[in-house]
């Protein structure tokens, strides 16, 4: 039976077990998970938060992370500005980025989610509104969600991956994990 860990990766944590940077003192997965022979199935940028799956099974890792399987990933995204129907429709239809068009996505505006506070907090500007969207994509290009929201005129302020396929962050506080046998 394969091991699968659901980990709520905090902000400013690398999605790897070691930091190969010389002189850097950055937090890694080893600061939170002490389990041999599990590896991340995909990545989550250092400045992003949320669900990261880790497994000891190479086939499961490929099924989760490889683009050909098109595993849906849902993000809660705080963006700058007031997102309207045109921007949401553009995200849903697919956005052309410098490395080509994205696949169609599911995009909707949502109420502010009940999330943990981020440390450091997201910058607040009285003169610039912000709002939250839910964005589900089926590919995983480098910084794709951030590039998509910027392409429609709404830069990302905070990015939390909430769901990958059937697995979600429900009940997981930042920095905690839960094991599932699959």
Catalytic residues, by residue number, are 45
Report how far residue 26's alpha carbon sits from residue 88's, in angstroms, rounded to the nearest whole number: 35
- Closest to 40 (Cα-Cα) out of 63, 25, 56: 56
Q: Which two tokens stand for residue 20?
A: 């190969």
Interhelix angle for 144-151 vs 85-93, to 10°? Answer: 130
Q: Which two tokens stand for residue 147?
A: 């590039």
Over its C-alpha atoms, the chain yields an Rg (Å, rounded) of: 17
């Amino acid at each position: 039976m394969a091991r699968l860990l659901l980990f709520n990766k905090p902000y400013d944590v690398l999605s790897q077990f070691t930091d190969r940077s010389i002189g850097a003192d950055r937090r890694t997965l080893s600061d939170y998970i002490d389990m041999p022979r599990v590896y991340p199935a995909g990545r989550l940028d250092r400045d992003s938060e949320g669900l990261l799956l880790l497994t000891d099974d190479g086939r499961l890792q490929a099924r989760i992370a490889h683009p050909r399987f098109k595993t849906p990933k849902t993000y809660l995204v705080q963006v700058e500005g007031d997102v309207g129907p045109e921007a949401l429709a553009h995200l849903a239809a697919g956005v052309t980025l410098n490395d080509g068009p994205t696949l169609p996505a599911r995009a909707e505006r949502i109420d502010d989610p009940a999330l943990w506070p981020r440390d450091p907090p997201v910058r607040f500007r009285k003169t610039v509104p912000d709002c939250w969207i839910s964005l589900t994509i089926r590919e995983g290009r480098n910084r794709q969600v951030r590039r998509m929201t910027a392409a429609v005129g709404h830069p990302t302020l905070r990015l939390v991956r909430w769901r990958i396929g059937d697995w979600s962050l429900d009940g997981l506080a930042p920095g905690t994990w839960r094991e599932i046998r699959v």
